Every structure is written in structure tokens, then in C-alpha cells.
Structure 1
Amino acid sequence: MECRVLSVQSHVVRGYVGNKSASFPLQVLGFEVDSINSVQFSNHTGYEHWRGQVLNADELQSLYEGIKLNQLTHYDYILTGYSRDESFLQRIVEIIQELRSKNPKLVYVCDPVMGDHGSMYVPEVLLPVYKEKVLPIADILTPNQFEAELLTGKKITSEEEALEVMSLLHDAGPHTVVITSSDLPSPRGQDYLVALGSQRRGGCVQRVRMDIPREDAVFVGTGDLFAALLLAWTHTHPEDLKTACEKTVSTMQHVIKRTMEHAHSVCAGGRPGAAELELRMIQSKNDIEQPDITIRAQSI
């Protein structure tokens, strides 16, 4: 049967971030994707210059009303990412609740985009909305380490503390939590990031850990790609978090490796900039469809 996703994220004219990063892989994997763009920018803000517009809560409601008037509001999944306005995020919550009243099986995948490396890049007023309104209705959550710490008020300095934080997030609502990246020490050395996943369903708990090679570059749009891929692979493997995470992270590695190879080929020994490091998404179509598993998850 047709599986339809409503994705509410940022949009850029050039490059891959937000909906541009999430829609293509979901479509390649067989999902119909309806997109609402929380912002529309010329390019991501890592460039020297950018221009664009921000959608407000009333404009979001107007778009939703148009869908509703045509009776087009049956969705299997909701995917949300970047939002920088409190009323906009509140309106998203109201829309999800209304959609879920029409389809109780609707799955909400939330990427709580708030910050990284100890700093918030959205207004702090969004944090209580995420904690009090978003978490209770979310099914799948994909924070980075900093965002997981913000949502729970707990610092993560060890694997045990990470597991405790994920347990607290389960208690708040989501049955599946994946901390997409952390600075926890890896037995494989400093050149690796650590990702951790936890799923609590039907009285059973699955927990996994992945050690991921760290690249000496700054990528934009990878978090949006991760959330979209996890949506797709948990749909295929709803009771097998290990396999879903392996396919998600391995696909990410294929895309990042291809991006780095391209960046170095066009920079002729120089350091790649924002334009050279745009994700090579189209060129990775085959890897998205049938990922070769290069990153194995360990059950913990």
C-alpha cells in the first residue's frame, strides 16, 4: 500500500538540507512525500551569503487548511526538523494531534533541531515546547548528544549515562530514540564518533551502539538525512533496531564518502568549502536503495 509522509522542515534552493536532504531518499525508498518548508533560503547558512523567507504559524495553518479542504490529510508518517519559532512549533503539534485523530497508527518522527557542541542555534523558548508538547506525541526521536542533554537536563559523559538519558526520553514518550552522534570515547580511537540507539516496544528493550568514522569536514544536512533514513528503515524493520540503524548509518557513510571524494577532486589539494561539501545525494541513489552494510551495530 502507498505510504505517505508529511515532512515539515527547512528548504534551500541550492544544496541539500532539510526537506531537500530528506525527500529524495524517502522517494527513492518508495515513500510519497508531501513537504511544508519551514524556511525557504537560497542556500544553507554556512555560506558567506544567503537570502530567503521564514514561514510563520498562520502561513503554516493556511497550507494545512488547503490540504484539509481537499480531504488529503491521511498520512502514515510525520517528519519534522528545523523550526525556529515557538508559535510555529506549537501549531505543528496541533496539526499532528488532528492528523492522529484521523489515523491513530500515524508515526511521528522528530528530529529536535536545537543545537550542537554546547550551543543552541534556535531560541531557548523552543526547549520547553519540545519537552512538554513534542516529546509526549513523538514515536521516534533523533537528537544529537547536546539535544538529548537539553531535553533531559542530564549530561552524558559515559555509555551508562547515555542509556539513562535514552530511558528518560522513552519515559517522556518516544518508543525509539537514536542519539545520532556523541563525543563518547570509542575503543577504535579518536577518529570515531559514537551513536547509540534504544527501542522500547511491547515490554522489550533493544539497545545498540555504533562507532562511526569521523571526517575532517563540516557537513550540513546529514542530520536531516539520518532522520529520513531511520524513518524508512524502521518502517521496513519495525522490530529490529539493529538492522534499521546499520542500514541508516551505512547509507550515511556511503553518501559522506562520495561527497568527500568529490570535494577533494574539485579542490586540487585545497580545503573544501560549503559548496564543495554539499551532499552528493543523486550520485548515491544506488547506495540509498540497497546499502552495503559497512557499519555494524553492537547490541548492548
Structure 2
Amino acid sequence: MHEMECRVLSIQSHVVRGYVGNKSASFPLQVLGFEVDSINSVQFSNHTGYSHWKGQVLTADELHVLYEGIKLNNVHHYDYVLTVCDPVLGDHGSMYVPENLHPVYKNKVVPVADIITPNQFEAELLTGKNISTEKDAVEVMDLLHKMGPDTVVITSSDLPSRLGDRFLVSLGSQRTLMPDGTKSTQRVRMEIPKVDAVFVGTGDLFAAMLLAWTHHYPNDLKTACEKTFSVMHHVIKRTISYAHDLAGPGRKPSPPQLELRMVQSKADIEDPAIVMEATVLNL
């Protein structure tokens, strides 16, 4: 008996050099046994954090044509569509995307998503509610559930960590349909060590890993989050130590030196040692 293969259509940016968008998501998903079909929404030489970048942006029509080709061959049946409707709206109080895209995310994208991974700023923007306590965060996640997604992970927040100011707080909530037709919600909290470096592609890796681990643990958000955050920890730790070795003592690593050590982390992606524990919130 063949195990049914799991297919993902990943619609994200592509870079020739380095790891962001599809380059950040495809390899780890493939390592975990997923078939990944990629549509590259942009094709750049490298991410835009470098001094220079060149490349092309796919128009909506060009994207549609590619999908049309898959459809004509009747090979457009996917278990998951991964788009970094992360939703990548902004961070630290400022928006990355034009204001007029905000209602598109809110009214069109979020309602059809199963899983969303906003940061605190994006979660507040989508719900119109501020988060200053854990209770606020839970209410915001409940509002996001009402908008459509059954799994919500607020990847980073400004809430005070129980472990001190060197940690960020991340919160997750998963709504599950019970056999009797009622919905049950599991909520988890994680304390994440802060890292003093700017990485690109980590959000894309995070979304891909959460997809993979919620697929493997469909009703166990605690385990899915522990695996996902542990993969992130291993990849980031390896990347930082490599970047510092290259840069030399006392020197700040450059964007090329901080490209994620993805291939070198293959074993950690496949079977991460759990270094992050999630606590289940009993509210």
C-alpha cells in the first residue's frame, strides 16, 4: 500500500542566491516528505536586504497563466496552498504593504486561510484590537478564528516573558471540530529566546514548518509548535555561529553571511531535538 503523497503548491518569491520565500520553504518541506510545486511570484538575484538586487516581478496575468497550464493537464489538485499570506503586512508599528491591501487580506485572504501566522502588529491590524495582556491575545486569536482560520499562531509579541526580557512570547490557538459537532480550542504559549541579528526568510521557513508539523500532528498544536520553533532555533543558532565565524571578532555579519544555513540543517529539520516547550493555557 503506497502512502498517499501530500502535495503543496507554494506561491512565493524566488531568489537566485540565498533563502527567502520559496527557497526558504521548498527544501524543508521536501525533506519532510512533501511534494512541492512552486510558483515564483518574483524572481530576484537576492533578497532586498543586500546593497543591490535585480530581477522581475510576476504579474497577476502571468501567475494565472502558469496555474492555467497546471489545470489544463489536470494536475492542479493540492492538499495545501502555501502563500506567505503570512499575512506579511508589517511589523513594529509600520506596514510593509500598501494600505489598500489591508482590506484585501482582511476580507478575502484571511477568511479562506486554514492557518495564519501573524506577528502582534499584524494580528492587531486585522482585528482592530490591541494586545497588552495574555487575555487580550487570546481574544484577538478568537476574533481571528471567527474570521476563518482554525489555526492561529502569533509568532512574536511584546508581552512580558516569564523567563525575563531576553525572551519573546509567542501564542497559538487551534480550533478543532469534535465528533459531536462542537468546537474545542487548544491554546498554547511559548517563550522564545531573542536573537540579536536580522534574518531574512525565517518567517517563510516558520510558515512552511508549521504547515508540515500541523499536517503530522493535526490536533496537537502543542507538539506542532514545539517541533516548528525547535527547527527555527536550530537553523538560527547554526546560522549565527557561522556568520560570526565568517565576520570575525567584534564585526557585524553582513546579509550574505547571515543567509540561513538551510542545507546544513537538514537533520534538524527532519527530526528536531525539542528545545522549546509549549505550555497549554487553561483559560
Q: Which TM-score band (shorter chain)? A: over 0.9
Query: Residue 114 of structure 1: CA displacement?
Result: 1.3
State the secondary structure of the residue aligned to 2:99. coil
Aligned ranges 1:221-240 → 2 under 5 Å: 221-240=201-220
* Structure 1 equivalent of residue 74 of structure 2: 71
TM-score (norm 1): 0.89
Cα distance in 1 for partners of 2:131, 2:51 equals 33
Equivalent in 243, 255, 259 of residue 223 of structure 2: 243
Q: Deviations over 1:164-222 (max 9, x none)?
A: 11000000000000011112110111111111000011111100000010011001100
Could you tell which deviates more after superposition, 284-293 or 194-203?
Answer: 194-203
Equivalent in 200, 211, 218 of residue 198 of structure 2: 218
Paired letter, 2:43: Q
Could you tell which deviates more after superposition, 285-294 or 40-49?
Answer: 40-49
Cα distance in 1 for partners of 2:111, 2:158 equals 27
* Structure 1 equivalent of residue 246 of structure 2: 266
Alignment of 1:163 onto 2:143: no
* Structure 2 equivalent of residue 6 of structure 1: 9
Query: Residue 7 of structure 1: CA displacement?
Result: 0.5
Equivalent in 17, 22, 25 of residue 20 of structure 2: 17
Aligned ranges 1:182-221 → 2 under 5 Å: 182-202=157-177, 203-221=183-201
Paired letter, 1:240: D
State the secondary structure of the residue aligned to 1:125. helix
TM-score (norm 2): 0.95
State the secondary structure of the residue aligned to 1:58. helix
Alignment RMSD: 0.8
Paired letter, 1:207: R
Aligned length: 272
* Structure 1 equivalent of residue 53 of structure 2: 50
* Structure 2 equivalent of residue 279 of structure 1: 260
Query: Residue 29 of structure 1: CA displacement?
Result: 0.1
Paired letter, 1:239: N
Query: Residue 275 of structure 1: CA displacement?
Result: 0.9
Q: Deviations over 1:129-174 (max 9, x none)?
A: 1111111111111111111111111111111111111000000000
State the secondary structure of the residue aligned to 1:276. coil
* Structure 2 equivalent of residue 289 of structure 1: 270
Cα distance in 2 for partners of 1:278, 1:193 equals 22
